[in-house]
Amino acid sequence: MLAALFLALGASAYGAPRTSGLWWMPDVASKSGEQIDQLTYFIYYLTGGVFILTQVVYIYFLIRYRARRGVRATYLHGDNRLELVWTAIPTAIFIGLWGYSNHMWWDVIHTESPKDTMEIAVMAYQFGFSFQYPGATGKLGRSDVKLISADNMFGNDPTDPATKEDFQSGVLELAIDKPVRIRLNSRDVIHGFYIPQFRIYQDAVPGRTIDWVWFIPTKIGSYQLACSQLCGSGHYNMKAQIEVVSQAEFDKWYKEKVAAAAGASSGNPPAQMK
């Protein structure tokens, strides 16, 4: 009866339609996110089943075995066969679940991204994000965390000619269905790179470059990149705009940016943009 309350609570919460977005996960917008959702649902049904099963049995016991006059409790210290059963079954389930989840971890994080992946450098700082795109060659220039300074916020390596073509943006503009790899850095403290619709989270750690996060956006739309690691007094509002657009629209944006950067780099070093 006690647990019935949150059963009811949970049921009403989970029963509401997903499209409202009020009670449930935001609609997934990346390829790996779709896989991750399958696992989330698998665990949801697994844990939901275990929860209902254990609570129904438990509540039945609590009613059935309440103190009654003249009825004495059963004198029993345990049962080793039962112990074995309820050790072996959870062990098998947990190890199986680990196998499933670890396989997926390999899939979404550890495998090589496709050949046509675009690499984008992301710099997190108190309190915002900045992005650097590869120039016309399509290859992001080398960078080194040791070179990060006020004048060179991405730590671009001036000996690599590709860095001259790179351009910066304050918006994370992405083409639909085009794989993106993130080269993640932080200039000051640890920040989080979190896009709930993409089901992606990764900390940006000062002093090291994290380059294993990649994803494929699958839905056109506007999203927000949020910092999800407490990073100081401005943390609550540290975010950046993400625009997932069609390939044609992206190409148009990209060409304009490349042209502007080429014009700028003929005379000046790449401009700092927010």
Q: Which of residues 64-123 bind other proteins (CB under 8 A)?
A: 65-68, 71-79, 82-83, 86-87, 90-91, 94-95, 97-98, 100-102, 104-106, 108-110
Q: In what order do the strands lie in the sheet with 128-133?
A: 167-169, 128-133, 118-125, 180-186, 210-215
Rounded to a whole number of angstroms, the minimum distance from the CB of residue 131 to other proteins is 19
Query: By CB under 8 A, is residue 25 in contact with other proteins?
Result: yes
Which CB sits closer to other proteins, 164 or 206? 206
Rounded to a whole number of angstroms, the minimum distance from the CB of residue 256 to other proteins is 26
Which CB sits closer to other proteins, 106 or 263? 106
Contacts of 144 (CB under 8 A, 6+ apart): 155, 157
Site residues (CB under 8 A) for other proteins, limited to 232-251? 232-237, 239
Site residues (CB under 8 A) for other proteins, limited to 169-198? 188-190, 192, 194, 196-197
How many of the chain's residues bind other proteins (CB under 8 A)? Answer: 100
**Residue selected from 206, 249, 253, 262 as contacting other proteins according to rule CB under 8 A:** 206
Provide the CA 36 distance to its chain's centre, in angstroms.
10
Which DSSP letter does residue 1 get?
A: -
State the helix-helix crossing angle for 2-15 and 31-64, rounded to 10 degrees: 150
Contacts of 127 (CB under 8 A, 6+ apart): 227, 231, 232, 234, 235, 237, 238
Hunting for tokens 């294993």 — which residue is that? 212
Rounded to a whole number of angstroms, the minimum distance from the CB of residue 57 to other proteins is 7
Rounded to a whole number of angstroms, the minimum distance from the CB of residue 261 to other proteins is 29
R_g of the chain, CA atoms, integer Å = 26
Provide the CB-side half-sphere exposure for 246 (13 A, CA). 2
**Residue selected from 147, 210, 220, 262 as contacting other proteins according to rule CB under 8 A:** 210
Query: By CB under 8 A, is residue 220 in contact with other proteins?
Result: no
The residue ranges of DSSP E strands in 105-160, in sequence order, are 118-125, 128-133
How many angstroms separate the CA atoms of 132 and 144, rounded? 14
Query: By CB under 8 A, is residue 162 in contact with other proteins?
Result: no
**Residue selected from 39, 147, 162, 176 as contacting other proteins according to rule CB under 8 A:** 39
Rounded to a whole number of angstroms, the minimum distance from the CB of residue 155 to other proteins is 12
Hunting for tokens 């345990």 — which residue is that? 78
